[in-house]
Each structure stands twice: as structure tokens, then as C-alpha cells.
Amino acid sequence: MRIDKFLWSIRFYKTRSIATEEIKKNRVSIGTSAVKSSKEVKEGDTIKIRKNQIDYKIKVIQIPKSRIGAKLVPLHIQDVTDKEQYELLKLRKMSQDYYRNKGEGRPTKKDRREMDDYVGNDIASDFTDWDDFFGETDNEEENAD
């Protein structure tokens, strides 16, 4: 099976074209040499993949016939990635600043929901009589008659 099709079929990449692009950028190699999309994958090969700034290593156990479900992936590959790589990934995720700086732009949807939870919906429930809320009185109705 071609390596681009193999990486797509074991769900390492979402589409086959993305897998092909990554191979062209020399982010995929078998052993120590970079490969082309047409390179055939064999059982027992060790594939090195650079994705999300992490160097993954997978060993091919079995070649699937077509794209497989996520639960069946461990039957076809064995993950031999160094534990340090996963620790680096975890540290990078923790160190990222997901929020904008104070005073920059409108609140995000998440920010708005947090503000609504903090303030609560007490304001809307207190004003059920809209005439009282807007200050209209019975005097205005009497003057109209």
C-alpha cells in the first residue's frame, strides 16, 4: 500500500491529500530516508512522522485493506514514540495563551457566557412587568381618555 494511503487509512491524517502534502514537505520518512507518496509500506517498517512539532514513530504491524475505524488502529500499528515527545506536547498545550489581552476586541462567546454566569439572569426575572420597567404609569392612560 502507498504510504500516503496508509497514513490516511490508519487515521493519522484526516484526508489523503493532507498526507501527500506532508510527505512532499519531507515530514514523513521510513527508517532514515525521506519518502515520496508512492513509496510502498511493508509490515515491520518504522515510519517517522513530524506532526504538531512532535516526532512520532509508528511500527507497521499489518496493512489495512482500506480506511479503518479508530478502535481498530492498534491492530495495524504500534506506537513507539518517545515519552519525552508526548511530554513536550503536553507542556506546549499548557503554555499556550488561549485568551486575548485585556482591552483587545470584543468578548468571545466563551467570555460572554462566563460573564452571564457570573452576573446571572436575575435582572431579567426581576422585571416581568414591562410597563413598570419603562416607567409608564396609569396617569398616561387616563390622560389619553
Query: What is the per-residue pLDDT across 4-16, written as a single tens digit (0 to 9) for each?
Result: 999 999 998 999 9
Choosing among 3.30.565.10, 3.30.465.10, 3.10.290.10, 3.40.50.2000, the CATH entry for 3-81 is: 3.10.290.10
| 8 Å CB contact between 4 and 67 | no
Global pTM value: 0.61
Query: What is the per-residue pLDDT across 37-96, written as a single tens digit (0 to 9) for each?
Result: 888 999 998 999 998 888 899 999 999 999 999 899 999 999 898 888 888 888 877 766
DSSP element (H, E) containing 48: strand 46-51
**In degrees to the nearest 10, what's the CA dihedral of 69, 74, 71, 56?**
-70
How many Cα atoms are found within 13 Å in the side-chain-facing hemisphere of 124?
Answer: 4
Q: Which of 55, 71, 72 is nearest to 63 (CA)?
A: 72
Separation of alpha carbons 32 and 86, rounded Å: 21
How many Cα atoms are found within 13 Å in the side-chain-facing hemisphere of 97?
Answer: 4
Domain boundaries, the chain: 3-81, 82-119
